[in-house]
A = this chain, B = another copy of it.
Amino acid sequence: MVNNIEDIRKALDQAIANGMQVSGGKMADYIPELARFDANYLGASILLTDGQLITSGADPNYIFTLQSVSKLVLLIGLIEEFGASTVFSWIKVKASEQSFESIGRLDQYGTVPSNPLINAGAIALSSRIPGANSDERSDWVNKWVNKLFGEQLQFSEKIFNSEYQHSDRNRSIGYLMKSTDVLIGDVEEALIPYIMLCSFQLNIKQAAYLPMLLANGGVNSNGERVIATATSNQVIAIMATCGLYNESGMHLVRTGLPAKSGVSGLIVAVASGKAGIAVYSPPINSKGTSIRGHAVLEELSASLNWHFANR
């Protein structure tokens, strides 16, 4: 099914217009800095695999933070460098029925995280970032952000500090995993790159690059291979089953678009062979997903016939 670019633009404009009618949700407030963003912002972008970019909604230059969407960067970087079987020996890949920060189930499963897209999984993976010291690990993070967004994103020290000071629950998760050597090395050294990744800033145009790369099998719109197709497919499958915490199942049914959400209000979604999609709107539901973002993706998928099961 081929979509004309004008049809896509219209579908996106319509989805944004309807998304504006959706209300509810709250700004994430567990990190004080997150509460400062514009609750009324709703914007989206679609980056076609051929490089054409469509944006709609509020100012496309408005800057927000990656938050948990960055868990994809960590996962992809490690699979590319260590191989999937090694990465999947560090953590499990179970379809996610749990909240983004469940500790009880972590303990129940022998402290091995259920999947790489919940906090525990990403913190465990963060402890595996190669590097002899903090600077080298920081370089690794910058390198992979650069690769997977096609440019260097800005890092917000303010967000980082705010988040680092409110990380006791993640610190608890870290020490629990350290007690069984699921997290290796020092807990703070694992938390730092984890929180760094959350603290990169970007606008809605930049946000569609990574999902486009996945939609295009790991190749950018210039035809240059950035990551292996196998990596890309594995990550899309993980997004399908775990991308929205305990809402993953219903999201996939409703949109057919494997996605990853973050508490900043960003959702990125993959329409394989077609496009990467990014939507940003800060008010989130109790499960940590942007309410309007979810509505936009649902309408878009329906009007463009982009459900993954479509032939």
Q: What residues of chain A have their CB less than 8 Å away from a CB belonging to chain B?
A: 49, 84, 88, 92-98, 102-105, 107-108, 114-115, 168-169, 171-176, 178-179, 187, 214-217, 229, 232-234, 236-238, 240-242, 246-250, 252-253, 256, 258, 270, 272-274, 307-311
A299 shortest CB reach to chain B, Å: 14
Bound CA–CA A172/B105 (angstroms): 14
A246 to B28, CA, bound (A): 30
Please indicate the chain B residues that have their CB under 8 angstroms from the CB of A176 in the complex: 103, 168-169, 172
Counting every copy of the chain, the complex holds 4
A169 to B179, CA, bound (A): 5
Find the B residue at minimum CB distance from A173: B172
Which B residues touch A241, using CB under 8 A?
Answer: 95, 240-241, 248-249, 252-253
Q: A93 to nearest B CB, angstroms?
A: 5
Shortest beta-carbon distance from A51 to chain B in Å:
15
Q: Is the CB of B104 within 8 A of A249?
A: no
Q: Give chain B nearest CB distance to A250 CB in angstroms.
A: 5
Cα–Cα distance between A86 and B222 once the two chains are bound (Å): 46
A-B contact pairs, 27 of them (CB 8 A): A84-B253, A92-B249, A93-B249, A94-B247, A95-B95, A95-B96, A95-B249, A95-B252, A97-B105, A104-B104, A104-B108, A168-B175, A168-B179, A169-B179, A172-B178, A215-B311, A217-B310, A229-B310, A232-B309, A233-B309, A237-B252, A237-B253, A237-B307, A240-B241, A240-B308, A273-B310, A308-B309
Contact A310 B233 (CB under 8 A): yes
| 6 extra A-B contacts, CB within 8 A, seeds A172-B172, A236-B308 | A97-B105, A103-B176, A168-B175, A172-B179, A240-B308, A272-B311
Decide: A95 near B97, CB < 8 A? Known: A103-B176, A176-B103, A252-B240. Answer: yes
Distance in angstroms from A102 CB to nearest chain B CB is 8
**Max count, chain B CB within 10 A of own CB: residue among A92, A232, A252:** A252
State whether B238 touches A242 (Cβ < 8 A). no
- Chain B residues within 8 Å of A108, by CB: 104
In angstroms, Cα B108 to Cα A108, docked, is: 11
Asked if A233 contacts B256 (CB within 8 A), the reply is yes
- Distance (whole angstroms) from the CB of A220 to the closest CB of chain B: 14
Let me know if B216 and A311 touch, CB within 8 A: yes
Determine whether the beta carbon of A172 is less than 8 Å from that of B169: no
Smallest beta-carbon distance A7→chain B, Å: 19
A94, A173, A215, A234 — most chain B CB neighbours (10 Å): A94
| Bound complex: CA A215 to CA B309 (Å) | 8
Query: Could you say which residues of chain B place their CB within 8 Å of the CB of A273?
Result: 310-311
Contact partners of A175 in chain B: CB under 8 A: 168-169, 171-172, 174-175
